[in-house]
């Protein structure tokens, strides 16, 4: 019966806009790490993108509360938008620390993590619009698998970066700063994997 009911396309528009906003944030953060100039201004741009994500998340949740028939389970919609918002939160935290901690220059591992984030969010930006019809479930699952592979690479890079901090016996304050930054960057990749998990669940339930 539910397959005959019309889908509320406005939800899908919100999903697409959210995925695009997340990718925009990743591009800005990666660009900041790659060209570490005007750091405060670049951090502000990332905060503005995160605020846009907050607005979209609130809009989606408010719509969820007003809508009787939703395209997927309410829990799935709530989880999808909130986990995408979490990605933006972690990226904003990393950008803020890079600015507030007065970092001289990013490490090669931080730059590499920024690139992993761009890859993850681009994969999600491709997968999320496909939720409208779920006509190519295997292609969607393959995109999610690629996100998980990128997230695993992010874990490896973070561990390499942390090991390097202690091997070089840096100032303890610098170690603390970079542990925080690495953690934020890696958490952002973890949240990308969380979004992929939600998409996988939706595909397996509704395809």
Domains belonging to the chain, first-starting first, are 8-206 (1.20.58.220)
Q: What is the pTM of this model?
A: 0.93
Is residue 1 over pLDDT 60? no
pLDDT at 46: 98
pLDDT digits (tens, 9 = 90+) for 127-150: 999 999 888 899 999 999 999 999
Residues 6+ apart with CB under 8 A from 75: none
Q: What is the mean pLDDT of the chain?
A: 93
State the Cα angle at 162 between 156 and 167, rounded to 5°: 120
pLDDT at 47 over 60: yes
pLDDT given at position 7:
60
pLDDT exceeds cutoff 80 at 52: yes
Q: How confident is the model at residue 169 (pLDDT cuts 50, 70, 90)?
A: low
SS3 breakdown of the chain: % helix, strand, coil, rounded to 5? Answer: 85, 0, 15
Nearest residue to 15 via CA among 152, 133, 189? 133
């Amino acid at each position: 019966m539910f397959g005959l009911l019309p889908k509320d396309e406005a939800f899908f528009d919100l999903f697409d806009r959210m995925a695009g906003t997340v990718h925009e944030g990743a591009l800005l953060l990666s660009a900041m790490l790659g060209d570490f100039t005007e750091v405060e201004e670049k951090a502000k741009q990332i905060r503005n993108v995160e605020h846009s994500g907050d607005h979209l998340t609130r809009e989606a949740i408010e719509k969820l509360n007003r809508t009787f028939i939703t395209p997927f389970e309410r829990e799935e919609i709530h989880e999808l938008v909130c986990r995408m918002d979490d990605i933006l939160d972690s990226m904003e935290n990393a950008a803020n620390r890079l600015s507030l901690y007065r970092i001289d220059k990013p490490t090669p591992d931080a730059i590499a993590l920024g690139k992993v984030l761009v890859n993850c969010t681009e994969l999600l930006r491709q997968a999320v619009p496909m939720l409208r019809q779920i006509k190519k479930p295997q292609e969607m699952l393959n995109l999610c698998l690629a996100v998980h592979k990128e997230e695993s690479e992010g874990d490896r890079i973070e561990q390499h970066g942390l090991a390097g901090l202690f091997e070089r016996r840096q100032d303890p304050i610098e170690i603390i700063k970079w542990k925080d930054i690495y953690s934020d960057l890696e958490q952002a990749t973890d949240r990308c994997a969380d979004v992929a998990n939600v998409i996988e669940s939706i595909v397996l339930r509704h395809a």
